[in-house]
């Protein structure tokens, strides 16, 4: 109460008095009060970080769910008869695909559907991971497994994007469908980047596994 | 593990209940029970200090090294 009545010069004291919920502050001079403020601030930061992580995980999960819905809707819209042309009227679709495959919309839709399914599985595992983060399970075995599955889905999307078109075109040529005349393997820098990002996620999963072991070990220290 | 914790004995000697000690030290009764049965990987100096303070004893009264004990999963057996 005294601090409230004091001048603006004593604002840090006021903060210390309001924040010393855990560590009671009976400071006599300025240095002690600053120390008290630091201790309490450190404690508060710890709490806020944990709560923030959980809150961010929740919002990120909502975002992922929205992306999942968009992926489903976009795939359905593009698979509809004339969907590709209609979509191109309103939105410029900049998705890159192998040129020979562009002449065969059905094969393109098959490839897109496959990639969408892998993407949905990966995003589903990501939502499960974020759900675990929300409940405070940061380094559990389940969390590591979900992250690994998400990284694998990223890698599979890249591989499917690179190797599915030539395989589809080859199958089309062998079956004599759609007069397929050329087969091309298309790998660009985006694919390399995605593969590298998935590798990074694999490494993070590995580190999380080690952290889980350490946390388990720490739990056995009384 | 060849390190034996004689906490049970000390509690009996001092006629102190586990619940009271756990409350004083600031650990759960479950953890204290694990400690009594030597099923822990380690003990913090802070915990040891509080136990010694409450039971008025030395760390040596609580911990004992027995070389012939059967090794646990994490300890290596050398002969």
More confident residue, A157 or A18: A157
CB atoms within 10 A of CB B38: 17
For residue A220, list chain B residues with Cβ-Cβ distance below 8 A: 34, 40-42
Q: What is the ipTM of this complex?
A: 0.70
Instruction: Write out the two tokens for A61.
Output: 């999960």
- Nearest residue in A to B45, CA atom: A222
The CA distance from B63 to the nearest CA of chain A, in Å, is 14
Task: Give the per-residue pLDDT at A76.
Answer: 84
For the question of whether the overall pTM of this predicted structure is more than 0.95, the answer is: no
Residue A209 pLDDT more than 60? yes
pLDDT in tens, A115-151: 899 999 999 999 999 999 998 888 889 999 999 999 9
Q: Does A213 touch chain B (CB under 8 A)?
A: no
Interchain contact B32–A (C-beta under 8 A): yes
Whether the per-residue pLDDT at A81 is higher than 90: the answer is no
User: Quick one: pLDDT at residue A202?
Assistant: 96
A221/B40 CB distance under 8 A: yes
pLDDT at B20 over 90: yes
Name the β-bridge partners of A9.
none
Interface membership of B30 toward A (CB under 8 Å): no
Cβ atoms of residues B75 and B1 within 8 Å:
yes
Least Cα distance to B40 among B13, B3, B67 occurs for B3
Q: Look at residue A23 and tell me whether its pLDDT is greater than 70.
A: no
Map residue A179 onto helix, strand or coil.
coil
Chain A residues whose beta carbon lies within 8 Å of the beta carbon of residue B51: none
Mutation for testing the B interface, residue in A22, A219, A222 having most B CBs under 10 Å: A222
Q: What's the confidence (pLDDT) of residue A96?
A: 54
Give the closest-approach CA distance of B75 to chain A in angstroms: 14
Residue of A nearest to B29 (CA): A222
| Residues of A in Cβ contact (< 8 Å) with B34 | 220, 222
For A178, what's the count of Cα atoms within 13 Å in the CB-facing half-sphere?
A: 18
- CA gap B39, B33 in Å, rounded: 9
pLDDT grade for A11, boundaries at 50, 70 and 90? very low
- Residue holding tokens 């992306």? A67
Most confident of A36-40, A55-59, B21-25: B21-25
State mean pLDDT over A95-121.
76
Asked whether the beta carbons of residue B34 and residue A217 sit closer than 8 angstroms, the reply is: no
Residue ranges of E strands in chain B: 3-5, 63-65
Mutation target to probe the A interface, by most A beta carbons within 10 A, among B41, B43, B63 is B41
Give A217→chain B minimum CA distance, Å. Answer: 7
Question: Given the DSSP bridges, would you call strands B63-65 and B3-5 parallel, antiparallel or unpaired?
Answer: antiparallel
């Amino acid at each position: 109460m005294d601090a409230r009545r004091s001048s603006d010069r004593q604002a840090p004291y006021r903060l210390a008095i309001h924040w010393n919920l855990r560590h009671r502050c009976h400071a006599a001079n300025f240095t002690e009060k600053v120390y008290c403020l630091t201790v309490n601030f450190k404690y508060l930061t710890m709490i806020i970080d944990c709560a923030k992580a959980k809150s961010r995980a929740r919002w990120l999960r909502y975002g992922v769910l929205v992306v999942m819905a968009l992926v489903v809707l976009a795939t359905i819209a593009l698979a509809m008869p004339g969907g590709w042309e209609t979509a191109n009227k309103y939105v410029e679709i900049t998705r890159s695909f192998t040129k020979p495959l562009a002449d065969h919309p059905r094969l393109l839709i098959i490839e897109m559907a496959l990639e969408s399914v892998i993407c949905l599985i990966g995003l589903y595992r990501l939502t499960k991971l974020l759900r675990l983060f929300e409940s405070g399970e940061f380094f559990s075995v389940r969390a590591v497994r979900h992250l690994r599955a998400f990284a694998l889905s990223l890698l599979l999307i890249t591989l499917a994007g690179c190797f599915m078109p030539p395989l589809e075109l080859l199958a089309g040529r062998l079956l004599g469908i759609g007069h397929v005349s050329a087969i091309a393997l298309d790998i660009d820098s985006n694919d390399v980047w995605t593969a590298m990002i998935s590798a990074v996620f694999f490494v993070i999963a590995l580190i999380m596994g080690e952290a889980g072991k350490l946390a388990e070990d720490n739990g056995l220290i009384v | 593990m060849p390190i034996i914790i004689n906490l049970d004995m000390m509690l009996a000697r001092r006629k102190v209940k586990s619940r009271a000690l756990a409350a004083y030290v600031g650990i759960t009764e479950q953890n204290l029970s694990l400690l009594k049965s030597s099923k822990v990987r380690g003990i913090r100096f802070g915990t040891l200090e509080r136990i010694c303070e409450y039971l008025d004893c030395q760390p040596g009264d609580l911990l004992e090294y027995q070389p012939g004990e059967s090794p646990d999963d994490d300890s290596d057996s050398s002969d």
